[in-house]
Amino acid sequence: MKKTLLATAIAGAMCASAAQAATVYNQDGTQVDLYGNIQLGYISEDTGSDSEDQIFDNGSTLGIAAEHQVNPGLIAYLKLEIDGFSADEMKTSQYDNGDTAYAGMKGNFGDVKLGSYDTLMDDWVKDPVDGSWYAGVNNSATYLTGDNNDREGDQLTYKSPSFGGLQFAVGTQYKGDAETDNRIEDDSSASFFGGVKYTVGALDLALAYDNLGTYDGVIADRDEDGNVVNVENDDFDAGEAYGLSAQYAMAAWTLSAKYERFDGTDDTLALTGVENADMYAVKANYAYGMGNIYGTYQYVDEDRGDDDESLNQVMLGADYSLTPAVTYFVETTMYDQEDDEDDFVATGLAFTF
């Protein structure tokens, strides 16, 4: 499915906003908080020729956040989130997964962190029109392919302080030649990403760029079943991604929009059938007191060489919080694929602390 799972990010935001995390240690300038969630859902998904359904784990997470005040203007911090518990099948699943893990320093100079976390493109461009419980509409990561399936790991990011509402960020994802998911054989690879964000009153504007440097190099060709059938082409160019977003909050309404582009190459056209993709999206979110009702419309223009494709994608959802710790949700997304493939309806609950 062309989707991005966002549940753990939202759960973390819920914990932070609802101040439900439990402080387990607070002494000598060091504070340690423990938080987590169990998320269980039911989904029915269209496979094109049929439909499939299941009860599933939607990203149950256990998290630790810690801060230590080095001096009055400098704080060291870390965050560790572990998921992949498969709470719906805990007895039969093998735990082999994780989510966010990073450490950093912040102060008057800004914020620098190292580890595994959401990309800048996700935070500043995709999330304002997404923010769903299960899966959202297409984004630039939809079109990335090859050996490197580590979108969030090995990142180093610097974010500046706000200068009258203006903030910038720069960073890299680095893959050393000893790493098995490095796509360039016997050599290291690194990407460059950056962005600018401006906040004035209730309006947020953001611009982000990623040269996708760790997706260049050796590629893995795969057949229709996902099996690797060829690994070659040291000169493979994965292209680049960029986008901009705007978000405006007024009373109970939040309105958002984005333009995002996957600027691929002849190499991506040969491998995936898509050379470029432009994505234009708008979202409206209404907070009615006990929850949210939201919807996103996205128009996707895919450059497929001689056979271009346009898609009209729609995401609709609602959630209801029985208490700050217990939230129910229902969501559906239509991807405008042939035979309605990947369309789904999902519902579930999240218990957070």
Each residue's pLDDT tens digit, 30-66: 999 999 999 999 999 998 888 999 999 998 999 999 9
Separation of alpha carbons 127 and 152, rounded Å: 15
Residue 301 pLDDT greater than 80, yes or no: yes
**In b/e form, how buried is each residue of 143-164, taking b as 16+ CB within 10 angstroms?**
bbbbbbebbbbbbbbbbeeeee
What's residue 49's pLDDT?
84
The confidence score (pLDDT) of residue 221 equals: 55
Instruction: Reply yes or no on whether the pLDDT at 12 is more than 60.
Output: no
Which pLDDT score is estimated for 233? Answer: 57
**pLDDT exceeds 50 at position 164:** yes
Residues 101/108, Cβ–Cβ less than 8 Å: no
- pLDDT tens digits along 186-208: 678 899 999 999 999 999 999 99
The CA-atom distances, in angstroms, between 209 and each of 120, 157, 258 are 8, 13, 14
Q: What is the structure's pLDDT at 77?
A: 97
Instruction: Decide if pLDDT at 179 tops 90.
Output: no
| Integer Cα distance of 294 and 253 in angstroms | 10
- CA separation (Å) from 157 to 58, 69, 92, 104? 28, 21, 38, 9
Which of 34-38, 67-71, 86-90, 150-154 shows the lowest per-residue confidence on average (mean pLDDT)? 86-90
The chain-wide mean pLDDT, for the chain, equals 85
pLDDT number for residue 68: 96
Check pLDDT > 70 for residue 223: no
pLDDT for the residue numbered 302: 95
The mean pLDDT value for 313-327 works out to: 95
- Give the pLDDT confidence of 258-288 residue by residue, as tens digits: 999 999 998 888 878 899 999 999 999 999 9
1 versus 252: which is more confidently predicted? 252
Q: What are phi and psi of 121, to 5 degrees?
A: -60, -40
Give the residue among 294, 255, 262 at the shortest CA–CA distance from 279. 262
- Sorted by where each starts, the structural domains of the chain and their CATH numbers stand as 7-352 (2.40.160.10)
- Using an 8 Å Cβ cutoff, are 138 and 2 in contact? yes
Q: 296 and 303 in contact (C-beta within 8 Å)?
A: no
Mean pLDDT over residues 6-27, rounded?
57
pLDDT at 98 over 80: no
CA atoms within 13 A on the CB side of 24: 10
The CA-to-CA distance between both ends of the chain, in Å, stands at 30
Q: Report whether pLDDT(299) > 90.
A: yes
- What is residue 178's predicted lDDT score, i.e. its pLDDT? 79
